Structure 1
Amino acid sequence: MSEKSNKKPPVWFWIVSIVALLWNLMGVMAYLGQAYMTDEMKAGYTPDQLALMESTPAWVTAAFAIAVWGGLLGCIVLLLRRKLAKPVLMLSLIGILVQMAHSFFMTNAAEIYGPVQGVVTPVIVIIIGIVLVQFARIAEKRNWIS
């Protein structure tokens, strides 16, 4: 087998890729839940939370969509062992960063949602986005994806 040929990835590659796919499916569900929020769902939020959601600019919603759909597509492509996974996951990360920059620097989301939902969860999302891009880089470097 030549050095440039596709190598069989280890079991942990598949485990990480599947867990990442499930993580991104949760992101897609969060996006769809927000996009198609019913009055019953709105009843579970405080007036301040609803006002913050309703004042979200379209470009932030677009960044959210790019983040979650890009993450889902990136993980599917990763499972198909294609190099396209890295740029798609990078696009997803850009969407995450744009969305979270708005949340951290242009709103009072941390005050409204509290420290866990307003700070800790977004930081975890950013970290996972970075890790997935790095994971795709490693997979490419080790010829697990082509």
Structure 2
Amino acid sequence: MRDARRADFPHVLTLPTRWSDNDIYGHVNNVTYYSYFDTAVNSFLITQGVLDIHAGETVAFVVDSGCAYYQPLAFPDVVHIGLRVARLGGSSVRYELGVFRNDDATCAAYGHFVHVYVQRSSGSSTPIPDATRAVLQGLVRPSPTTPN
């Protein structure tokens, strides 16, 4: 989704790059993008009051992720992570994330991140809690890349 625009995402998180994000080649290392994804998703859920990382009965495990890279980022760029829900299932959710550099209109990278909800105590799959589902519903924006 190289042509994704910021307006395609109902939530955007802004993060500064850090000096330590750069690799020996002078750009943000690919593994750092996954940290950006994790931060965007989980900070959204925490600020919406539907994720208690310390004592919540349910947690979400990442079971699939991927990223396509179009343009490099480098310190001291500011990164804007666009977040949307492409698929909201019974116990899983597929997030799609656009990574935008500074004021660029087109994305520098495009990724996905799939969470499966489980009971913290047993690790068994469980339905997405109602309050979480209601919050996630506000992010639903199907995309052409969403698998059936």
Q: Which has the larger radius of gyration?
A: 1
TM-score (norm. length: structure 1) = 0.32
Higher helix share: 1
TM-score normalised over the length of structure 2: 0.32
